[in-house]
Structure 1
Amino acid sequence: MRILAVDDDAIICELLREAFEAAGYTDVVTASSGHEALACMRDAAQPFDCFLLDIQMPEMDGIELCSKIKSQPHHADSPIIMLTAMSEKDYIDRAFGAGATDYVTKPFDVLELFTRLKLAAQLVEQKAKVAEKQQTIDALKTHDTFARKVDLREDIYLSGVRGALQKLAFENYILQLGRSGMFGSAFFAFRFSNVKDLHDNASPDEFVGTILDVGDVIADALKTTETFITYRGNGVYVAITKFEKNRSVTDVQAEIDADLAGLIAPLTNGEAVPISMAVGGPVQSGLFGAAEPLDAMWRAIDLVEGSAAERGPAKATIADRVKKVTSQIMQSAAL
């Protein structure tokens, strides 16, 4: 995995290089500014796979650099880890809003950083597999009669929807905020009740296009810029937004229903699938207690899915993967 680490502190850059090489990541390039990083990307013989960015840098900060990296088509899905001393919610919001997939605060724990990096490596591997499959599809495609069928359970990035995050980045954002950071926020979950009808009758393009259209409706109904939203698959959307105690789930449901009244998915096979949505929430995370930050999200999802039993093994989140990867790293170190 090719890594570009950007920090205006030369000591941090050298520390990162040595730490990564000790962990087996030998293809590491460092840059001391955003402009130098963009030059490294422009001149690189091969694209970088993963980026680590400090936020506070002169001339171009890490958030602006993150946005510039994500604007490049071949890096739209590249993992970007913000490695910074800035832990305030405003910086976290801006970083994830610019496209960051993870956020580690200084002074960082090396083991945690390695864990996050290994998770990023898994994303890079998944991205490569998707690209390989797409090349196969392109090779087999004849007059657009062949296209990859989208799995009903597949999480889809809501490209172009205000506040959209990838599923992994959404979970990382919640974990980074923690319970105290989520104070004043609430989760809403939305279930596309007849998503299977759409999936069974629509082409892949029609299915994805409708998922994006519904995401736009949800974002408009929540009516605030302080909102992040993700699509988790199986017709389920989740949003975290500013809590308004005078705004009930009934209010949001009414707005969603009104906007969806005229939205019908016309399909090329002659079918017309109406859009039906259920809304769950608002659910707030308790400031005190032992609950995990993601528990409030799952409670909102339970409200639209009926019960936790229906969810089954899908409850495994980034937090579970972090624990698993950390355990693997520690076992390797013991050897």
Structure 2
Amino acid sequence: MKILIVDDEPFTVEFLRMALEAFGFTNLESANSASEALAIVKKANDPFDCFLLDIQMPDMDGIALCQQLRTDPAYKRVPIVMLTAMSDRAHIERSFSAGATDYIVKPFQINDLMSRIDSAARLSRQIISADRLVRQIASACQGQATPLGLKFEDAISFDGTPGYLEQPTFRNYIERMERSQFRYGGVASVKLQNASDLFDCSTPQSFLGLLVEMSDVLSIALKFEDCHFTYGGSGCFLVVKLAPDKPKFQNEVEFLVKKELSRADLRYPESDNNPVNVSVGRVFRNASGEYGSIDETLARARKRVQRIYA
């Protein structure tokens, strides 16, 4: 991978260079400010595959730089990892909202950093496949082409939709937040009813078009609720909310989403034109209040809705 390190502390830049080179990453460049980083990106003959950004820098901070990078079509989906001493919820929230893929708090263990870099490398290798689906969504909405190889369980992306996070980023976001922030919040799933039957009887264009419209419904419905969502495949969206002091998380999500569905008058395609219905399920926590591993949480979110409303 070609990696750009951006940090105004020369010692940190040199440390990261040495650590990355020791683990086999040799295609490295560095910048001491956001403006220098943008200049390097602009002049680069080959695009970067990953960015490591500090937050606290003069002029433009790392979060603003992250947001700026995401406006470049070449870097819409490239991994951006924040490396920062800022551990408070506000900076984590702002970073992920700006498009960060992961967030590491200084001081960090070098093995942890390498693990995150390896995850970014795997994500980078998945970009071609994910971008294919993004292009298919765009062409499907315009009626230009039939997506090939689309499966019901595919975790499709919705580029540019406010509040949306890709699954790996969604997982990282949950892991970075303190568990206390989820005391009354957590993860819920919003599933299209009869989604499997709908997939079987619809064209790929129609099914993808419905998912795009549904992502817009969630984005609008949850705009002011401090929520993020992802699409987990199989007609199931997953919503995460930080709520340390509001105990009606699932009810709020269900009310807001169904209210926006009614307002948008979203209807099933190529069937009896009935209004779209969804089922909302809460992920159970264990006795200690923990959600376990993130992958298990996401799996339980999907199964919970399927078990209650199948």
Q: Secondary structure at the match of 2:159?
A: coil
TM-score w.r.t. length of structure 1: 0.78
State the partner residue of 1:111: 111
Structure 2 residue matching 1:280: 3-state secondary structure: strand
Amino acid aligned to 1:21: E
Give the C-alpha shift of residue 22 in structure 1. 1.1
Q: 1:253-308, CA deviations, whole angstroms, 9 ceiling, x for partnerless residues?
A: 354344434211435xx87475221011376788x56653636665544431218x
Aligned partners of 1:248 and 1:282 also within 8 Å:
no
Matched, 1:264 2:251: no
Deviations 1:196-249 (A, max 9, x none): 233234444432231122122234334524111111111111112243746464
1:104 is matched by which residue type in structure 2?
A: I
Q: What is the aligned partner in structure 2 of residue 303 from structure 1?
A: 304
Residue 281 of structure 2: aligned partner: 280
Paired with 1:241 and 1:195, the residues of 2 have a C-alpha distance of 24
Q: Please give the residue correspondences for 1:151-166 in structure 2 after superposition, counting only pairs within 5 Å.
A: 151-166=151-166
| In 2: Cα distance, 1:18 partner to 1:190 partner | 45
Matched, 1:70 2:70: yes
1:91 is matched with 91
Instruction: Name the structure 2 match of 1:148.
Output: 148
Q: Which amino acid aligns with 1:3?
A: I
Contact 1:195 1:234 in 2 (8 A): yes
- The alignment partner of 2:176 has SS state of helix
Q: Counterparts of 1:102 and 1:134 in 2: how far apart (Å)?
A: 21
Inter-partner Cα distance in structure 1 for 2:235 and 2:268: 15
The amino acid that maps onto 1:57 is: M
Q: Distance in 2 between matches of 1:303 and 1:76?
A: 32
TM-score between the two structures when normalised by the length of structure 2: 0.84
In the superposition, relative to structure 1, how do residues 202 and 37 fare at CA in structure 2: closer, same or farther (>3 Å)? Answer: farther
Matched, 1:40 2:40: yes
Distance 1:205 1:273, change over 3 A: farther
Give SS of 2:177's match. Answer: helix
Check the 8 A contact 1:201/1:271 in 2, yes or no: no
Report the Cα distance in structure 1 between the residues aligned to 2:156 and 2:133, rounded to whole angstroms.
16
Aligned twin of 1:200:
200
What does 1:211-226 align with in structure 2 at a 5 Å threshold?
A: 211-222=211-222, 224-226=224-226
Distance 1:30 1:271, change over 3 A: farther
User: Where in structure 2 are there 5+ consecutive unaligned residues?
Assistant: 136-142
Give the deviation of 1:120 after TM superposition: 0.8
- The residue that corresponds to 1:12 in the other structure is 12
One-letter code of the match for 1:28? Answer: L
User: Corresponding residue for 1:179?
Assistant: 179
Q: Assess, with a 3 A threshold, how the Cα gap between structure 1 residues 285 and 128 changes in structure 2: closer, same or farther.
A: same
